[in-house]
Structure 1
């Protein structure tokens, strides 16, 4: 499959509230550094290279950028790179960030923000870094199964104040979605998901589809590799489908997630221009019933 002229429009569109995005987006977690994300010895990525990738993504029709203030290496931050590459921002560009986790200046993880004041400080930090007066979408990323009412309510207050346009959730369990929706509208859910996902993640995907909420998988390509990236080996079914279409295994994994429903978006990240083109082109890959059966034999 040629990737030279395929753009993100081939993946179709979905709405995050009133914001229309192409279903293939771009995730910036790995953009500030080479190698594993968040590694204390991560080597900062060349700034010009990172900015070139962001600008090329937009040229290829990507209008959904995923970021966070805690995506940074010793000399690069994802938000700073986005601002340097894309500001002043197009009206069609949707930047989605997340709050909750925090890292100190050395990169060490801190306790999640839990109070309204702590969450507001993280929202304001994203605003400052991105050079914006409001954030398009803010996801509350959580750990555990306890109530999110106070934290989500604090973000809902910031939405009412005009600092945030839309709200989403990340890393949740099914009961969190109902809890949040009782407080304010939810436009997207970001959860770990891909081939071989746990039944609970299938349940979250289903609930989002029924309620018209975007489901945005993370680690859809990396799978068990998580922050370190994709594992070297591939299951036989994935590689067989890739060989049949003349594409990479990563493209098959992305295409499979998009086939899970029209509400499923993708935010693969890379610092490589060739991989970027391949990820965007995956939005045009149409898997047959035979392909889907080979990839999901239990269904």
Structure 2
């Protein structure tokens, strides 16, 4: 797959903690069943997607034990274990799934440690590249947040994780955490339509911290539809040789060098489309239009 590798390499690399990773990674969430619950629609295709990601050069996979729950981590293990030496697997903790698929808090300090151990066991690894503390309610940081950070610091000191990340946070969370410990990545909702975390992105960029936008192609149905059917993205794509999806991802790569992408997909065709976004260079007209006017 030389064309994939070429476009992939053009996107460059950035530090994820003490490791340097390519800026296009893979988010494994969609490998679970509908609603990120239960087994995949196509087990063999899920394994093929993971193996193709690694073969193309991807060295950063994002997961969580509550995807499934457990299903996605088991797929990653089945497809890729023993893991390539350069692969950084990042997970997140602070949530669990109910019997009906509901996402429930699992964020007491002892539960966070149990969550890390569940990831390690399911993936059959001794250490994760990083673990993101997922803030469930976006409440202002307080003593509870401090206790959660302490749990992750202890996990790092015990050698269970290489680095601490934060997810779904405000700039205030980030600054409070940095008073306690280095933060290797921040994972917030951010894409060409949903830009509410622009201040967090700016703060991470100024400090050399990786910013990993989740749902880079839209979280809400409205946002996803706006991206997929955007006349502006379509026109720019026709001019630059890309699809609306590729232009939306290329915009993120162009926006700031500390952005690491983790677009997810269930199919090899979509994986190839996502990876090729790294080979698209925005011109000044496209950059101006997309930054000023969204999709």
Alpha-carbon contact 1:159-1:165 (below 8 Å) kept: yes
Q: How does 1:47-58 map to 2 (within 5 A)?
A: 47-58=43-54
Q: Are the counterparts in 1 of residues 4 and 275 from structure 2 also a CA contact under 8 Å?
A: no
What is the CA-CA distance between 1:113 and the residue it aligns to? 2.3
Query: In structure 1, what is the Cα distance between the partners aligned to 2:19 and 2:4?
Result: 27
Residue 7 of structure 1: how far off its partner (Å) = 4.9
**Is 63-72 or 42-51 further displaced after alignment?**
42-51
Cross-structure match for 1:38: 36
**1:176 and 2:169 aligned:** no
| Structure 1 unaligned regions, length at least 5 | none
CA shift, 1:114, in A, is: 2.8
Which ranges in structure 2 are unaligned for 5 or more consecutive residues?
none
Determine the structure 2 residue equivalent to 1:25.
Answer: 25
CA distance in 1, matches of 2:59, 2:264: 14
Partner residue in 1 for 2:155: 158
Give the aligned CA root-mean-square deviation in angstroms: 2.1
1:296 and 2:291 aligned: yes
Q: Equivalents in 2 of 1:252, 1:3: separation in Å?
A: 17
Segment of structure 1 superposing worse, 60-69 or 4-13: 4-13
Looking at structure 1, the residues matched to 3 and 273 of structure 2 have their Cα atoms a distance apart, in angstroms, of: 6
TM-score (norm 2): 0.91
What CA deviation, in whole Å up to 9, does each residue of 1:104-162 have, x standing for no partner? 3442322x223221111101100111001111110001022232211111111111111
2:9 is aligned to 9
Which runs of structure 2 are paired with 1:43-192 in the superposition (5 Å)? 44-72=40-68, 77-110=71-104, 112-142=105-135, 143-147=137-141, 148-192=145-189
Report the TM-score, using the length of structure 1 for normalisation: 0.90
Measured after TM superposition, the shift of residue 47 of structure 1 is 1.4
Q: 3-state DSSP class of the match of 2:79? A: helix
Compare 240-249 and 157-166 and name the one that shifted more: 240-249
- The CA distance in 1 between the partners of 2:100 and 2:115, in whole Å, is 17
Higher mean Cα deviation, 91-100 or 3-12? 3-12
* Residues matched between the structures, number: 288
Q: 1:10, CA displacement in angstroms?
A: 2.2
C-alpha contact (below 8 Å) 2:26/2:263 kept by paired residues:
yes
Moved >4 Å (runs of 4+): 2-5
8 A contact 1:191–1:201 mirrored in 2:
yes
Counterpart for residue 193 of structure 2: 196
